[in-house]
Structure 1
Amino acid sequence: MKPYKIPVSVLVVIHTADLQVLLIERADRPGFWQSVTGSLDAPDEPLLQTAARELFEETGIVADGERIVLRDWRLSNIYTIYPVWRHRYAPGVTENTEHVFSVEVPRDIPITLAPREHLNHVWLPYLEAADQCFSSSNAEAILQLPHQLRQARS
């Protein structure tokens, strides 16, 4: 039996300098588009390490800390876990705490999806990407992207 998922996760918004956002389609729910997400592997796994691991596992993108740099927004969301996925968590766990990160990449970066997790990927202008997300916290993070980037560059 697989161990229960830890109800602490990361959300990584992947974008280009001109605010094109990468969305990936879930294999277990075709038509559900999202940014990179994933839970901690261990209670003591650092959030930045989780974000880098999930980014690589789901897209093949390596956050090397120089050219590809993960940015911790120091923002977290607590949301109710969708009933369809609650069986992955310990009995009685109904909420997850999600920590938001972003990463700016070149538009031509190769994307290698994890076939068991995702079916397809698409680059969209950030407003369209937000509209495509099934998760409200993911959509909200994408909508905050211009503000977050202004803050980072000032």
Structure 2
Amino acid sequence: MRYKIRPGVESYGHAIGILLVDCSTPFIPGDVGNASTYRYPVLYRTVPDVTLGRLIERGDESLIQNVIDSALELQKVGVRAITSDCGYMVRYQRKVAAALDTPVILSSLLQLPMIEQTLGAHRKVGIICANAARLTPELLEIAGLRDMSKV
């Protein structure tokens, strides 16, 4: 890999950038928010004002610029891909991906279309989430699920 000087960059070699919801949670090993989970360097950015209440409970669309700005910070320092620690961030997937040159995969829900294709007509996908009432058909559609009867 070729390295170039990037003004304002403090460190190099981070494979993945991870956007974090603005909350106080102890991230245990194995959690997305714990760097020891990975065998490669990751870099975190907490997205200002993207709290669990505003993201999950209210589905606050006004936070999109905060998410884009935080993702752009990660892109500036050279991460090769960007993800997040909350599946409900799928709400911002399209706009963040459109604003960046780096691949963006904000939610594990983006795997649903692939899983959907592997199932026969009589089989369903199980989803474990923080708040089932807020996992709306709208969010599943944003993730790319075509057949809502599959969930």
- TM-score category of the 2 structures, normalised to the smaller one: under 0.3
Rg larger in structure: 2
* Greater helix proportion: 2
* Greater strand proportion: 1
What's the TM-score, normalizing by structure 2? 0.24
Higher relative contact order structure (alpha carbons within 8 Å, sequence separation ≥ 6): 1
What's the TM-score, normalizing by structure 1? 0.24
